């Protein structure tokens, strides 16, 4: 059974989308983040079991108010890689496969996206959803590959490039979804035609 992991920060003013907040103000940035996360979770959960991995550790009540009634787990680890590795390890340990990680800031992600990723995993070891900024909005696999999470230059334009090189180093085949934008800047909001008034 496919398991989707939504990695999300608590929707707190000044805590999320700091680059977007510099462009548009913290309140607008928070409103956009809330809207995208709610829509992504609702769409994916229509067809797939969803676990929300949240940060910080005291945020579960507000995460539930924001996203609804899902399984919620507090993120564990110093950086995003450690946190993702821990979560993948937990879910594979429960016998779930494939496991796919998504974020709360890519408005194009839906149940259809997950279905397409699952199809790709029928003939690839790893599936990546390339993000316009050089990162990725989805990573999925049938097994835990720890090296895909450690020593990655998170937050840079070469995250996907380095991840794909790791896959080659490990002799893992990689399939790709269509490129999507996640929302980090006002330019992203405008490119996606999102209303933000």
Does residue 72 lie in a domain region?
Answer: yes
| Residue whose tokens read 């309140």 | 27
User: What average pLDDT does the segment 2-19 reach?
Assistant: 95
Which of 92 and 195 is assigned the larger pLDDT? 92
Does residue 147 lie in a domain region?
Answer: yes
Does residue 28 lie in a domain region?
Answer: yes
List beta partners, residue 6. Answer: 52, 102
CB distance 125 to 101 below 8 Å:
no
Give the range of the structural domain holding residue 98, as residue numbers without chain letter: 3-191
Number of structural domains the chain divides into: 1
Does residue 118 lie in a domain region?
Answer: yes
Percent of the chain with pLDDT over 90: 91
CA–CA distance, 197 with 132 (Å, rounded to integer): 24
Does residue 21 lie in a domain region?
Answer: yes
At residue 197 the predicted structure's pLDDT band, cuts being 50, 70 and 90, is very low
Predicted local distance difference test score (pLDDT) of residue 195: 61
Question: pTM score, two decimals?
Answer: 0.95
Note if the bond before 96 is cis, omega within 30 degrees.
no
Percent of the chain with pLDDT over 70: 98
The enclosing domain of 140 has a CATH number of 3.90.550.10
Does residue 69 lie in a domain region?
Answer: yes
Does residue 11 lie in a domain region?
Answer: yes
Q: Render pLDDT for 150-187 as a digit per residue (tens, 0 to 9).
A: 999 999 999 999 999 999 999 999 999 999 999 988 88
Alpha-helical runs (H) found in the chain = 18-24, 26-45, 60-67, 80-93, 111-120, 159-169, 186-191
Closest among 184, 162, 186, 185 to 174, alpha carbons compared: 162
Does residue 196 lie in a domain region?
Answer: no
Q: Render pLDDT for 22-78 as a digit per residue (tens, 0 to 9).
A: 999 999 999 999 999 999 999 999 999 999 999 999 999 999 999 999 999 999 999
Distances (CA, A) of 129 to 12, 83, 156, 174: 27, 19, 16, 10
């Amino acid at each position: 059974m496919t398991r989707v992991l939504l990695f999300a920060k608590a929707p707190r003013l000044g805590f999320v989308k700091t680059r977007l907040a510099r462009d548009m103000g913290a309140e607008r940035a928070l409103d956009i983040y809330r809207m995208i996360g709610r829509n992504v979770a609702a769409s994916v959960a229509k067809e797939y079991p969803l676990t929300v991995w949240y940060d910080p550790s005291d945020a579960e009540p507000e995460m539930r108010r924001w996203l609804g009634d899902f399984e919620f787990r507090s993120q564990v680890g110093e950086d995003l890689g450690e946190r993702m590795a821990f979560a993948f390890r937990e879910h594979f340990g429960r016998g779930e496969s494939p496991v796919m990680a998504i974020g709360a800031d890519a408005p194009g992600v839906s149940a259809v996206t997950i279905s397409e990723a699952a199809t790709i995993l029928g003939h690839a070891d790893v599936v990546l959803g390339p993000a316009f900024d050089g990162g990725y909005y989805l990573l999925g696999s049938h097994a835990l590959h720890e090296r895909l999470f450690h020593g990655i230059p998170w937050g840079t334009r070469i995250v996907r490039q380095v991840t794909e090189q790791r896959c080659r180093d490990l002799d893992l085949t990689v399939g790709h979804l269509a490129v999507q934008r996640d929302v980090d800047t006002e330019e992203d909001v405008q490119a996606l035609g999102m209303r933000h008034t």
